[in-house]
Structure 1
């Protein structure tokens, strides 16, 4: 098996192409732009320039692992055209999305023209590469797509925005816009096999999109093993949420749960580490939440270290990597099945129903008040995390891909 990997950006620090290269299974790596190869290498020299310097600074973080540099091909011309057009569509989400789809088609066509060499398979992140996928299948290659979030996410959020109006701005009908660009909308029609980070994603594909379970495999993600060495210093009642404070991640249910606990005089501090819009931060329902804003990676370890429990009441994820980090830091995890966590109910934490503030509040109260239970789950959390390093993720991924040889 030889793979062409198609990936936009530096997702998981280029883990998939690197894992495949180490296994002798990488033919080529196609990406938009990075700091080590092609035009991106020269653009990084302008990091100190006004206006564009901050964007180039972000580009400089896209560093390829040395193992895959020689097999990497970047497609910067479509990327630069895309960036220029977005500058004129900053305030219109629908137009931005249309431009993104045009770019996907442009990028995929350029990749298809670059060829396939001796590849037998294409590995695409969520259908990235658009037109490349049908061309690959036309040439007899198999297409493996990583589905890193529930495909039902847009529907779930549309329902939630009706239940909680004014929490977030109205969004365009992305599904309708996608149908305007059939060449970019090929994920479901041109995927032979799906790699899913959680059983929730695989079930969503089977139940709502007609992809049989046997065409999908579950490969959970991993975490940085350095977190396993972090000495816990839990402060009782310190509840940590890491991620963007938005409806998709259930911030409104955390706010409701915090209100219920305050009414019962349960002493808790709710710390929200992640971006938050003024629209949400100013809401009265969120008065018990301490919004920290975006916390740098070098400081987030301290938040894990001092937390008592970790909470992520998501409505739609793939497999939230922050839950792996929390487990590794020795934190009981209270989350939902939709979050795709490897935490198990009653062992490393609590799995509560989505959209249930009462169950969420009860789970938080239980772990904050019952110190013996909390400490037992904390110990189990760290042991569970040891089986989910990035090294073991690589082993699981290769094992899963080998099932697709036929």
Structure 2
């Protein structure tokens, strides 16, 4: 049975609410309202599986009824995330968000969710190691379950021109490492090259983006069908994230046969030198080196793209569901 609680989402659709308290606060208010509503439902179950940021009250309620609690964590431990953000905002000389500088109820909530959860599901081995470090969790209590990619929707296609095109997909701001790829592109000064960034721009990052806006193409958003076309016309996909969960767009680019350059902090990475390259965070020179290699070796770039098509086949939603079911079985068998 699927039951949907739509009423908290209404807040997202009321411009005056967003304007008065800010998008960050609306997002977390919606999560809290949803969590409270779920906590009052019939939670008589063997395993309660909740998503981070919106499961504290419902996990507590389910646990009182004897359920085993599973917390689904999309990204790095909040302590690691805060430190990475703090360092980044200082390096870029940007005003630090209050939740990074001092923490808030939302941050406290995340720590409490860790404490009430029996198991944690994460999307990559690197995030698992991060949780073991910060939460002193046993490896057996953390399951690595990579997310899936829609391989029916994202498919290889013929490139329509000869332009060397870099594509970046993701919120354009501090978290995704946008500054480093913008600066790398500016310094490279490649001929017959284009850099397309697809997604909204974080408000606090706008002053930095404005310095590069005349040399790049920014598209605020596209449909999934349009995104497939943009990826088919890409020469390389780049995601140099400082803090990343899985990075679904990386898998989508691979599915389209595009070589990728991702940071070491991305959940969805490639085999370095096979389907693309993995670079250190905050490293403009490494980005320039790998982009230039693909620019000068387009035959090898196409080979990497073909390798990516094969590599990404393991990241399907069917495989994701299968691993979820296997994890549930392991948890229930352990509880006996």
TM range (shorter): 0.7 to 0.9
1:208 aligns with 134
Mapped partners of 1:388, 1:132: distance in 2: 30
* Conservation of the 8 A alpha-carbon contact between 1:220 and 1:388: yes
Instruction: Tell which deviates more after alignment, 250-259 or 396-405.
Output: 396-405
- How far is 1:121 from its partner? 0.7
* Residue 58 (structure 1) aligns with: none
Matched, 1:156 2:84: yes
Q: Which residue of structure 2 lines up, in the alignment, with residue 72 of structure 1? A: 2
Q: Say whether the 8 Å CA contact 2:180–2:240 is kept in structure 1.
A: yes
Structure-to-structure mapping, 1:79-228, within 5 angstroms:
87-88=16-17, 90-93=19-22, 97=25, 104-117=31-44, 119-151=45-77, 152-166=80-94, 170-173=96-99, 176-178=103-105, 186-227=112-153
The CA deviation at 1:280 is 4.4
Residue 272 of structure 1 corresponds to: 197
Q: Which runs of 5+ in 1 are unaligned?
A: 1-70
Cα 1:369/1:89, change in 2 over 3 Å = closer
Taking a change above 3 Å as real, the CA distance of residues 77 and 284 of structure 1, as seen in their structure-2 partners, is: closer
CA distance, structure 1, for counterparts of residue 165 and residue 14 of structure 2: 45
Q: In the aligned structure 2, how far is the partner of 1:283 from the partner of 1:127? A: 32
Q: Residues 76 and 242 (structure 1 numbering): CA distance in 2 closer, same or farther, change over 3 Å? A: closer
1:240 aligns with 2:167: yes
Structure 1 residues 337 and 143, CA gap change in structure 2 (3 angstroms): same
Go from structure 1 to structure 2 and tell me whether the alpha carbon gap of 1:93 and 1:162 turns closer, same or farther (over 3 Å shift): farther
Q: 1:102 to 1:332 in 2, by over 3 A?
A: closer
Partner residue, 2:315:
388
2:183 counterpart of 1:256: yes
- Which segment is superposed worse, 301-310 or 230-239? 230-239
Unpaired runs of 5+ residues, structure 2, are: none
Q: Residues of 2 paired with 1:325 and 1:180: CA distance?
A: 31
Write the distance in 1 (CA, Å) between the matches of 2:252 and 2:200: 18
Alignment correspondent of 1:65: none
Query: What do residues 195-225 of structure 1 show as CA deviations (whole Å, max 9, x unaligned)?
Result: 1111221122122333333211111112112
Check the 8 A contact 2:165/2:235 in 1, yes or no.
yes
Distance (whole Å) between structure 1 residues aligned to residue 13 and residue 178 of structure 2: 34
The DSSP-based 3-state class of the residue aligned with 2:63 is helix
Q: TM-score, normalised by structure 1?
A: 0.73
Q: Deviations over 1:240-262 (max 9, x none)?
A: 11112111111100011112211
CA distance, structure 2, for counterparts of residue 153 and residue 275 of structure 1: 21
**Is 1:336–1:352's contact at 8 Å kept on the other side of the alignment?**
yes
8 A Cα contact 2:185 2:195, kept in partner: yes
Distance of aligned partners of 1:338 and 1:235 in 2 relative to their CA distance in 1, 3 Å threshold: farther
Q: 1:358 to 1:392 in 2, by over 3 A?
A: same
Give the deviation of 1:102 after TM superposition. Answer: 5.7
From the CA coordinates, give the structure whose radius of gyration is larger. 1
What is the aligned residue count? 327
Distance 1:109 1:248, change over 3 A: closer
- CA distance change for structure 1 residues 335 and 116 in 2, over 3 Å: closer, same or farther? same
Aligned to 2:246: 319
